[in-house]
Amino acid sequence: MATLAATAAEAEVVEVVPAVRLSGIRRVYGDVVAVAGVDLDIGAGEFFTLLGPSGSGKTTTLRVIAGFERPDAGRVELQGADVTRVAPAQRAVNTVFQDYALFPHMTVAENVEYGLRVKGMSRRDRRARAEAVLERVRLPGLGDRKPVQLSGGQRQRVALARAIVNQPPVLLLDEPLGALDLKLRQEMQTFLKALQRDLEITFVYVTHDQEEALTMSDRLAVFNEGRIEQVGSPAEVYEHPETEFVAGFVGVSNVLERDGRRFTIRPEKIRMTDVEAGEGEPGSVREVVYVGMVTRYVVDLDSGGELVVVRQNLETSSQEALAEQGKRVRLSWRPEHTYEIDKEGT
């Protein structure tokens, strides 16, 4: 009985193998350190985003996972297998690029079937698989068209269909919506998230768009100068930034220093009232920007520093909002809406 109990206990502590594991990844181009010692685990079935500005190392990290870049140091594992020196074609991943990378001389169906043809699948079977995948990405009946006959959003969905037709356990997406206009981009964000849930495979998504990352991700990693500054859920990263860089890059955040403390507070968490209306820090509205659903105010505080405040325009016209420039106001916030921080993130 004791032996059986011990075996059961051991079974309970078996480590769940991540879909992607990066250990000490470093990639250098001459004097430029593109990726500087990145450690990261991405769970099976996650929609995981690599977020950061241009040159932060996020795309290089994705290319290391894909095998297009070989790290100067570190280890890449997929489903527990070391693939650091494995060629891209032999890795259990597919990649979707911003420029679609479709073959212009092939039809939509032939583009989608290409990977299956390389693997030697029969024409009948690969055509059936391609038709099923095109149905899944909402492009039924378009298999005979050429890419040039499609819209940008349709071409992106063909690229997705080609990437998922082989049923890879991990799909890598390198800023796939960057070439689309805003409305189509937002539609594709919803579509991609629903597709990922339906497929139940791991998506590793690269973007510099903070709103996109917050909208789509289960978790995200914020990159800066080749390093990861913070990993967490969208709510964790937005509500509790660990460094000043994260606070400023993910959304808009105020950084204020009082009594030797540095803390962040989001603009929408600040209450702005008339200066005569009780407690809070007094100040003057220096700038007013009306942006449709909300108005953004920049307030110079009497005690030093400035805060950005955002208010919804529930019953406020643009004329009323803009008339508040120069107004004396008082700002207040709840203590639980602040987060102590310093430049090093300690």
- What pLDDT band is residue 341 in, cutting at 50, 70 and 90? confident
Mean pLDDT computed over every residue of the chain: 89
Lookup: tokens for 65: 């996972």
> pLDDT digits over 186-202, tens only?
888 998 999 999 989 99
CA angle, 47 as apex, 79 and 210 as ends, to 5°? 135
- What pLDDT band is residue 117 in, cutting at 50, 70 and 90? confident
Residue 14, pLDDT > 80, answer no
Task: Tell me the whole-structure pTM to 2 decimals.
Answer: 0.86
Alpha helix ranges (H) inside 105-171: 108-118, 123-136, 152-164
Q: Cα 77 to the chain's mean position, in Å?
A: 21
Q: Which residue's structure tokens are 């989001």? A: 266
> pLDDT digits over 118-151, tens only?
888 888 998 999 999 999 998 998 999 999 999 8
Pair 79, 19: CB distance under 8 Å: yes
Look at residue 346 in the predicted model and tell me its pLDDT: 46
Counting every residue written for the chain, the total comes to 346
Look at residue 316 in the predicted model and tell me its pLDDT: 78
- List, in order, residues 6 or more apart from 120 with CB less than 8 Å away: none
Q: Which residues of 158-171 are buried (b: 16+ CB within 10 A; e: fewer)?
A: bbbbbbbbbebbbb
Look at residue 345 in the predicted model and tell me its pLDDT: 47
Could you tell me where the beta strands, DSSP code E, fall in 83-238?
A: 93-97, 170-174, 202-207, 219-224, 227-232
C-alpha 96/C-alpha 111 separation (Å) is: 13
Look at residue 101 in the predicted model and tell me its pLDDT: 82
Pair 76, 22: CB distance under 8 Å: yes
Residue 22, pLDDT > 90, answer yes
Look at residue 7 in the predicted model and tell me its pLDDT: 54
C-alpha 186/C-alpha 181 separation (Å) is: 9
Element (H, E) at 210: helix 210-216
C-alpha 172/C-alpha 163 separation (Å) is: 9
CATH superfamily of 20-239: P-loop containing nucleotide triphosphate hydrolases (3.40.50.300)
Residue 2, pLDDT > 60, answer no
- Eight-class DSSP state of 88: G
Lookup: tokens for 308: 């950005």
C-alpha 100/C-alpha 325 separation (Å) is: 47
Look at residue 284 in the predicted model and tell me its pLDDT: 95
- Range 166-190 average pLDDT: 88
| Phi-psi category of residue 175: left, alpha or beta, with phi > 0 → left and psi -120 to 50 → alpha | left
> pLDDT digits over 39-95, tens only?
999 999 999 999 999 999 999 999 999 999 999 999 999 999 999 999 998 999 999
Look at residue 118 in the predicted model and tell me its pLDDT: 84
Look at residue 225 in the predicted model and tell me its pLDDT: 95
> pLDDT digits over 224-260, tens only?
999 999 999 999 999 888 888 998 899 888 888 888 8
Query: Domain 253-340 adopts which CATH fold?
Result: OB fold (Dihydrolipoamide Acetyltransferase, E2P) (2.40.50)
Other residues' Cβ atoms within 10 Å of the Cβ of residue 43: 14
- What pLDDT band is residue 204 in, cutting at 50, 70 and 90? very high
C-alpha 241/C-alpha 264 separation (Å) is: 8
Look at residue 119 in the predicted model and tell me its pLDDT: 84
The amino acid at residue 224 is N
Least-confidence region, from 15-29, 99-113, 204-218? 99-113
- What pLDDT band is residue 180 in, cutting at 50, 70 and 90? confident
- Eight-class DSSP state of 284: E
- Range 257-270 average pLDDT: 88
CA atoms within 13 A on the CB side of 70: 5
Tell me the domain boundaries of the chain: 20-239, 253-340
- What pLDDT band is residue 5 in, cutting at 50, 70 and 90? low
